[in-house]
């Protein structure tokens, strides 16, 4: 499991708002009331209206500027917060109304949407409400876990806005809390491993060891061991040896005197494909000076890989085993996300695990050593 931000802001706004307003609409049509609407009924209708999703301005033509996206997102976050307050007012003022219980549930949904859209002022309100809901004695463990995970993911997203340190700390706290509350479930260990991936050195190693020694699944333990191997690999030789898809024999131990980019990638990975022009350009400029590339493909279909490499004129060898995220070297070195670009120096030692974004500059510098 990975803790990621949801999709584009438009998806958050439209999907969340449509889902909630749709549920409101279904509830409203089931009243069956024939008398004139009461004050409470009118208030309910106002709440429904507040939940109508606002479409992005037509003048954007599907291509808003970053400033427009930020402004629209903030506006929708505030709108969701106001609707949450309205829902709370409704069930507080009309506790015996048929819609009171639903309004209380919608308050939590709306607070979550508000926080997801950047309105972190509502984070504590959301956490408090979710905490109360998890204490319902009628909930099953799965229902309680679902509520807890909603709170964890929303809180983690909010902490991302406060910087890397706050994000990593929240992941670690959330992982430990989940393990304590749900010791038989694996998700807490997954989150703890995600926290380890955000840290460096001693702290990352400590968290990875904790996961590897805990009650995590075999798969999660394998990833933890891979991360430990990765952390220990820096500054040491990288034992990678294989027969490439085109029949070439590859052995990094025999490439001393060269600077080698080990590129973990896949044809289905958008960011990987976007990096190809830069990688090719660096290869063309520095190859004659001693720069080599070794591709580690996370593809599933060999023919797809071969055609892609040929079409893109990627002249360097490619490792392939068809296991996707179970890739042998990906598992061995704890690769949880691609593209991952590592640089090996002329002595055959791994020197850089983050060459993406400055590949030519970093490779050129190593070639001068």
Q: Per-residue pLDDT tens for 8-25?
A: 333 433 444 444 444 334
DSSP letter at 349? B
Q: With 0-12 CB in 10 A as exposed, 13-18 as middle and 19+ as buried, what is 140? A: exposed
Q: What pLDDT digit, counting tens, does each position of 47-76 carry?
A: 988 888 788 888 887 788 888 888 888 899
Checking DSSP bridges between strand 318-319 and strand 249-251, what pairing results, if any? unpaired
- Which carries the bigger pLDDT value, residue 239 or residue 12? 239
Nearest to 359 by CA among 342, 334, 339: 342
- The mean pLDDT of the chain is 86
Read off the pLDDT band of 303 (50, 70, 90). very high
Instruction: Give the whole-angstrom CA distance, residue 305 versus residue 310.
Output: 9
Nearest to 3 by CA among 201, 199, 168: 168
Instruction: Give the whole-angstrom CA distance, residue 353 versus residue 172.
Output: 23
Least-confidence region, from 8-12, 204-208, 265-269, 354-358: 8-12
Beta bridge partners of 318: 295
pLDDT reported for residue 118:
86
Read off the pLDDT band of 37 (50, 70, 90). low
pLDDT reported for residue 197:
80
pLDDT at 314 over 80: yes
- The residue written with tokens 């002329």 in the block is 346
pLDDT reported for residue 36:
54
Mean pLDDT (whole number) for 121-135? 88
pLDDT reported for residue 346:
95
Nearest to 346 by CA among 270, 283, 252: 252
pLDDT reported for residue 12:
39
Nearest to 355 by CA among 273, 255, 268, 278: 278
Model confidence pTM above 0.85: no
Instruction: Give the whole-angstrom CA distance, residue 38 versus residue 31.
Output: 12
Instruction: Give the whole-angstrom CA distance, residue 342 versus residue 261.
Output: 6
Instruction: Give the whole-angstrom CA distance, residue 206 versus residue 228.
Output: 9
Percent of the chain with pLDDT over 70: 90
3-state secondary structure of 52: coil
Instruction: Give the whole-angstrom CA distance, residue 341 versus residue 7.
Output: 25
Nearest to 87 by CA among 113, 107, 115, 112: 107
Instruction: Give the whole-angstrom CA distance, residue 136 versus residue 238.
Output: 53
């Amino acid at each position: 499991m990975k803790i990621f931000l949801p999709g584009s802001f438009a998806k958050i706004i439209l999907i969340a708002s449509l889902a909630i307003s749709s549920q409101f609409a279904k509830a409203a049509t089931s009243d069956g009331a024939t008398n004139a609407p009461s004050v409470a009924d009118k208030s309910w209708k106002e709440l429904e209206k507040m939940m109508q999703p606002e479409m992005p301005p037509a003048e954007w033509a599907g291509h808003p500027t970053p400033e427009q996206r930020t402004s629209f997102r903030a506006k929708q976050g505030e709108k969701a917060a106001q609707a949450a307050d309205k829902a709370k007012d409704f069930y507080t003022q009309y506790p015996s109304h048929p819609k009171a219980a639903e309004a209380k549930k919608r308050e939590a949904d709306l607070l979550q949407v508000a926080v997801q859209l950047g309105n972190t002022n509502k984070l504590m309100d959301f956490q408090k409400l979710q905490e109360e809901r998890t204490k319902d004695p009628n909930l099953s463990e799965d229902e309680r876990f679902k509520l807890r995970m909603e709170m964890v993911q929303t809180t983690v997203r909010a902490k991302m806005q406060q910087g890397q340190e706050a994000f990593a700390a929240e992941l670690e706290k959330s992982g430990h809390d989940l393990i304590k509350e749900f010791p038989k479930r694996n998700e807490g260990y997954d989150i703890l491993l995600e926290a380890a991936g955000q840290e460096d050195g001693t702290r990352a190693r400590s968290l990875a060891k904790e996961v590897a020694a805990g009650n995590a699944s075999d798969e999660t333990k394998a990833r933890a061991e891979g991360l430990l191997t990765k952390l220990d690999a820096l500054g040491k030789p990288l034992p990678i040896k294989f027969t490439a898809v085109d029949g070439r024999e590859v052995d990094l131990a025999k490439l001393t005197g060269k600077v080698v980019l080990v590129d973990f990638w896949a044809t289905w990975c958008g960011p990987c494909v976007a990096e190809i022009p830069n990688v090719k350009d660096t290869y063309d400029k520095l190859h004659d000076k001693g720069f080599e590339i070794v591709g580690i493909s996370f593809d599933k279909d060999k023919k797809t890989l071969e055609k892609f490499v040929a079409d893109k004129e990627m002249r360097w060898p490619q490792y392939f085993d068809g296991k996707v995220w179970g890739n042998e070297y990906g598992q061995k070195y704890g690769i949880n996300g691609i593209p991952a670009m590592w640089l090996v120096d002329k002595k055959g030692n791994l020197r850089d695990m983050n060459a993406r974004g400055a590949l030519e500059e970093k490779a050129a510098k190593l070639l001068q050593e």
